Amino acid sequence: MDAGKIDMQVLSYTTATQLIPAPEAVSIAQAANNEMAERVKRYPDRFAAFATLPWADPKAAADELERTVKELNFKGVLLSGRPSADATFLDNPKFEPVLEMANFLKVPIYMHPGFPARTVQEAYYAGLDPVVSARLSAFGWGWHAEVGVHMLRMILAGIFEKYPDLQLIAGHWGEMVPFFLARLDEALSKEATHLPKTISETFINHVYVTPSGMFTLPHFQFILQVLGADRIIFSVDYPYIGNENARAFLENAPISPSDKEKIAHGNAERLLKL
């Protein structure tokens, strides 16, 4: 962080706790969050944290989210991939306790990528060189598409009408969705969805996007034009990608000083109450 001139980092686990059976998942998530809280406590001016939850037990997950926010001062929750071993998404009614709690606490859910379901991997990504298949199904394409579909399902299921204070964060410039918003509004109009808002209206009002280490200027300029500076939060992808060029990317971006301030820290301070 010092070498990259990064003042504060929000820490999180990317372990897929949803694959752990319910009783064990609760104790593991609690222990993991307690350990994270101790690390934040050592450097409170440099670190904050997102919770990891026992998704196999949605009621316990909601309780753990409440505990971590109220007692440990966590800033939200991170979900890696789909929230259950049976490959369902957050629009499934069984996850309403978690969504209701996040909405009540006004803390975001970071939609981190995870591996596609095995049936999807076999149908879409198998049959190539094993290394190529693995990379294509994961950080090359597959897990970005997974998050994009996940968020679209939440929008189309009316989740944000039911939970109007719920906010999501999506990395990698919004996991493909922003680049298709115009197409989605045309293909899935309000007449088709029977929702009061278009997909783009809901996305822009309920999803923040981050670069997640994808420091590419054309993507950034497109997102800035479509979503606006108020919906971009700067992030790195450490330890998968180094921090060396992160700050320079934003400092050299051809945008106004006020937009740089919003993206560098202002939006995160507002959303995460830093």
Q: What is the pLDDT of residue 257?
A: 97
Q: What is the pLDDT of residue 238?
A: 83
pTM exceeds cut of 0.75 = yes
Q: Which of 11-25, 164-178, 190-204 shows the lowest per-residue confidence on average (mean pLDDT)?
A: 11-25
Rounded percentage of the chain residues whose pLDDT exceeds 90: 86
Q: What is the pLDDT of residue 263?
A: 97
Neighbours of 71 (CB within 10 A): 10
Active site residue 237: yes
5: left (phi over 0), alpha (psi -120 to 50) or beta: left
3-state SS track over the chain: CCCCCCCCEEECCCCCHHHCCHHHHHHHHHHHHHHHHHHHHHCCCCEEECECCCCCCHHHHHHHHHHHHHCCCCCCEEEECCCCCCCCCCCCHHHHHHHHHHHHHCCCEEEECCCCCHHHHHHHHCCCCHHHHHHHHHHHCHHHHHHHHHHHHHHHCCHHHHCCCCCEEECHHHHCHHHHHHHHHHHCCHHHHCCCCCHHHHHHHHEEECCCCCCCHHHHHHHHHHHCHHHECCCCCCCCCCCCCHHHHHHCCCCCHHHHHHHHHHHHHHHHCC
Q: Which of 7, 86, 237, 259 is catalytic?
A: 237
- 2-272 has CATH 3.20.20.140 classification: yes
Q: Show me where the domains of the chain are located.
A: 2-272
What's the mean per-residue pLDDT of the chain? 95
Residues 229-241: tens digit of each pLDDT: 999 999 988 888 8
Residues 162-196: tens digit of each pLDDT: 999 999 999 999 999 999 999 999 999 999 999 99
